[in-house]
Structure 1
Amino acid sequence: MVVINMYEIETARDAHVILPAAGWGETPTTYINCNSRLLRIADQFMALPGEAKPDWWIWGRIATRMKELYEAEGNREEAKYCAGMDWKDAAEVFKDGGEDFPDNRVSEADEAMLPAECYKGVTYEYLRKVGQKGIQVPVRIDPKTGELVGTKRRYVHKFGTPDGKFKWYGTDPWDPDPMKFYPSQITKYFQNGNDKKFPFWFTNGRSQIIWQTGYNDRHLPEKAYTIPLPYIEMNPKDAKRLGIKSGDLVEVYNLEGNAIALVYVNDAPSPRTIYGIMYHWKGSLNHLTTDYTDPKTTVPWYKASGVAVRKLKGNLQDVLKNTSLLPINNSKNLNLTGGFCPFLVKTAKHPPLRVFPHTHAVRPKTFGGGKGLV
């Protein structure tokens, strides 16, 4: 197994080869602001640690070597998939990526047909010249002047459909009867007594403290100590009724699976509503959502399901010594009658949880093992 990462993550501990990668600020990077679609460049401002290399450099060397090996075997079909990756620098990689977009030498009226991220024709040199002003994607090349033109507002003249017209994919007509309006994956929580078994309406979302999946934040002591575990928020009325207080560890479960979470009691959620952070490096509450996807919009139904909550007995430290936060999705294995679920008991496969991770980020500094690979 080969691991390319800027941190010595858990997977890397079992890797045959570790290839240390560059982090943000250690190599030139381009990014697009999702609000204004502004494409800008962030140049390298710190040296690479040890033997760390940018991802494109690592993949380029691997691809080039694979191409040589395939050609030596006479396998030209596979070799062609590894061609063209012998980039010299990040600017060349960026330009190469831009060539994958369709011809963008179009008029303003035809801008709607361009992919949202299209930047064909834009170079690092251009982005450095315009600085923080950047350029708004999709970028087109004016057919008359040959100049790069950013798109300040999309779909001014038409929409990106074959006939240029807006297409409406409405949801089904509203019906106050949930059994008629909601999909079967949701209505099952209103049937067969499940509304009593799972009395809370569960929804999830992000935390303002953790960026995305916490890839970098989990290594920052101030973040790890602020949110050491996945958590739920519960209304004070519900917490009082269940004998739960902030800082307690609970099991949240339903017909989809279960998860272990820390409790924050506050009045943000309404009574009978549980809000949970959708991702944390110690565990995930996404396992409590259904697999329903709206057929018209292809949007997954991530935000609603019925759940029940029960407090795990014992003080926090003792519970953590005998509990795994590893969630499961097989409701047949859930012990819904009370007590611990079977998988929660500590086993050799799932060692005790450490509440707080290391207080410093471990960066692999050298290419480990298999020197002939790269």
Structure 2
Amino acid sequence: MNSHIERRALLKSFAAAPLLLSPLAAGCAEHGSTTKAGTLNIGQISNSVAFFPLFIAEEKGYFKDEGIKLGDRPRLGTGAKVAAALKSGSIDLGAGVLTDAFNLAQNDPSARVLSSLVTEYYVDIVVGKSFDGPDAGAPLEERTKALVGKKIGITGPGSGTEALIGHLFDGIGKKAKTDATLVNLGSAATSALGALKSGRVDALSFFQPIGQQAEADGAGRILISPAAGHVPDMKGALHGVVFSTQKLLKKKAKEAEGFQSAMKRAQADVQGDPDKVRELLEKYLKDTDAKALDALVPILRKEMPESPSVERGPYETARRFHQASGLVEDAPEFAKIKADG
């Protein structure tokens, strides 16, 4: 069977399964948000760097300034679980990656992308100390070929971490599923770094700041980084986003507007005083090596937009990647998925 067809079938089933959890969940979805006016429940996958502006807005009281009370703030582990929570109405906004919004849109055409958080693909290929291969200055094809036959840790099937490996292998005429061993590690940074250090995996395809942490503590090095321009056709792709459904956004229109205003202030802070950004980042990424934090500050200032407004250019770059890689069967046109306002 064609590899893209296989991948699409897997991802479609993976995305759909959590959205059909129970009659209770379906019933809640019909009623939209379960929170009171003025309150927003915001779920996110993890504490990856993409969601740093949410932390800033909360830490500095920007949501409060907009009259928004934050309710539940669960870390749900996967984009599929974020989508399921949106469908049930237990959260109003979901912070994830564009892949999650696309997967939700395949089951619910009312899916909408509200905020742009990161306009670079912030997943890196990180190799362990024992990796005997080219360095980051070698041609991309050579670096990718060095991953063939290796055990590569990803967060899970249907994720952007799996998609990057698939895209790179497609570029050298290989298939990640058969020409490497993909190991599902979940989204916890400690588990990923532990697997790399112990040799359970030879490499990781993982979101920032895993690569920076690995380099800071000597556990490994970044081999391929789309955000650094190593993968030309992924340069400038919209990746980190806040998404929801039209029904939820309509019910919480005032709160969504205030959320965007708070996020704009937070994203302006990221572009401001780097020392203050460093202080906030240390609070957000607790127990992260100081060297990793130092490395992250200039990276975040380059890959995070100045405004949460979703722009067509980064969206279309991401849309092309998702469709070419087979990560989604069909990605909505810009006008159909961008939230109003």
**TM-score per shorter chain, which class?**
under 0.3
Structure with larger RCO (C-alpha < 8 A, sep 6+): 2
The normalised TM-score by structure 1 is 0.20
The normalised TM-score by structure 2 is 0.22
Which has the larger Rg?
1
